[in-house]
Each structure stands twice: as structure tokens, then as C-alpha cells.
Amino acid sequence: MTGSHWVRDGGYFVGPVMLTNTHDVGIVHHAATRWIIDHHAETWNSRHLWAMPVVAETYDGVLSDIMSHAIDMAQYMCGPIRRVVATKETFVKERPLPVPGSGTHYDRGKPGDPTGAVTNEDYVGALVEFENGVRGTLEADRSIFGPQSSMAFELNGSKGAASWDHETLNQLQLYLPEEQPTDGFIEVLGGGSFPNQGAIVPGGGNSIGYEDMKLIEALEFLRSVEAGRQHQPGFVDALANQSVAAAMARSFASERWEDVTSLRLD
């Protein structure tokens, strides 16, 4: 998975990336990205997703499911990750067994249904070091109460900070102490100044939603096809993200820092 591609195309990373590239927030010292959801917080809240076995070195645990988005956000804004140390946990040990030929991974079970051991993780957390020296924390969890779909980042630099959450996707939190009359984050609203958003809802402060972002994503892909150029993100980005995920998987077993090595086969 390339990860947070629809968010990139929607323009929500333009401001933070510009702030880091122009050093408006100074030299970035720390980055935190996460995707935390509550879809499977309850024991009876899921029949299918947990039961995917490891087949051909792939499965549907949190590492391959939603950690890919956190990795993608981190590398897009802060550059390549050099090494990682990671941990995982399965908080809900048993869940209702899938009903063959029916339902989806959002199906709910009920007390008394037959259950089976959960075969993949609910949570992955990692400390990371980027090639440029930035330190970071990445988390993914789909069995936590509270956040419903918190795909989020925070960047902390020597002169400021920026923070954003998918649950409030039209609001960027920005802190530039040399340019603000008070300390702390201020709110910057989305709107027509972001790429492509003005064609949907003109004017500042006018919100767009997930479907609008998918429309913009499709538009950007078709523009790439028309221009005969590789769309970004592409397979190179997906490979880079999966190389980080593979290093995390090695760290699960070694319980040590692991260097990120490319999975590319020449």
C-alpha cells in the first residue's frame, strides 16, 4: 500500500511539507504519525479481519493494514526512515469465528458464538530514526476506545510545530511563535487555497469530505495518465513503505533496532 495517497492529493500535506522545506518551523527534531481506530475495540465487534492467516508472507494485521499509512505520512514529510525498533500486541485474544461465505470484516458477533484465537496483532508501535537525523514515533491500533479514525501527524521543529488529524481534516494546527501574538497552536482552516479544493467548494473555511478527496485523487491520477508521467505516490513509494514495515517485522522478532533495507529485487 502506498498509504495516505488521497490525503496527499487533497493538498493537506502541502502546508506542512512547505513549512519543513522552508524551515519555517526550523529544523525538524521530531515527527509523530499514527492511525488509531475503534472498529474492532470490542471482542464481539469483528468476525473476519483478525482471522486472516499468514500466507505467502502477507496477512491483514495492523502492520500491513493501517501502519502503512503512518509510515507513508512520516516518509513523505520527513524523508526516508533509516532504522526502527518496533513492538506489537494482540489485546483481544479471541474473537467470533467467521461464517463461511457470508459477511465482511465489519460484521458483529454475539455472546455464545463460537470463537477462535486471534492470529494477528491489534497494535504496532515503533521508534524510528530518519536519514536526516529526525526522530519519530509511529503507532497503529484498531482496537482502542476513544479515537474513531485518528490518522494524524505532529511535526516539532526548532522554531515551531504543525499538527493535523483526519477526524478534523479541514483544520491544521500551526504554531509559529515568532509570527504569533500568543503561544500555542492556532487553527488554519481548509478551503479554496488548497490544491483542487476550490473547484469543489470555493472560499476559505469551506469543508470537503472523504468522497471529495477520493474525487481529487482520481483527478490527479487521470492528469498523470494524460501527461504520460508516473503518478505520485507510485510503486516506488509503496516499496519504500513496505521496506520499513519489513524492518519493523524483523524488530518484533529480534527485539532490537533494525536497519531499513530495500525489498527491491533487481
The domain spanning residue 153 has which CATH number? 3.30.360.10
Residue type at position 229: R
- For residues 134 and 28, is the Cβ–Cβ distance under 8 A? yes
Please report whether residue 266 resides in a domain.
Answer: no
Per-residue pLDDT at 47? 47
Per-residue pLDDT at 59? 57
Report the alpha-carbon angle 132-134-140, nearest 5.
125
Per-residue pLDDT at 191? 82
Print the domain residue range for 204: 5-258
Burial of 112 (0-12, 13-18, 19+ CB in 10 A): exposed
Its pTM stands at: 0.84
Please report whether residue 177 resides in a domain.
Answer: yes
Per-residue pLDDT at 132? 94
Per-residue pLDDT at 264? 92
Please report whether residue 80 resides in a domain.
Answer: yes
**Cα dihedral 252/63/21/184 (nearest 10):** -90
Which residues of the chain fall below pLDDT 70? 1-24, 39-60, 101-109
For the chain, how many structural domains are there in total? 1
Per-residue pLDDT at 112? 76
Please report whether residue 239 resides in a domain.
Answer: yes
Please report whether residue 263 resides in a domain.
Answer: no
Residue type at position 217: E
Please report whether residue 110 resides in a domain.
Answer: yes
Please report whether residue 264 resides in a domain.
Answer: no
C-alpha cell at 262: 530495500
Distance CA 170, CA 1 (A): 24
End-to-end alpha-carbon separation of the chain, Å? 20
- For residues 12 and 190, is the Cβ–Cβ distance under 8 A? yes
Burial of 223 (0-12, 13-18, 19+ CB in 10 A): exposed
Burial of 232 (0-12, 13-18, 19+ CB in 10 A): middle
CA 26 from centroid of its chain's CA atoms: 24
Please report whether residue 265 resides in a domain.
Answer: no
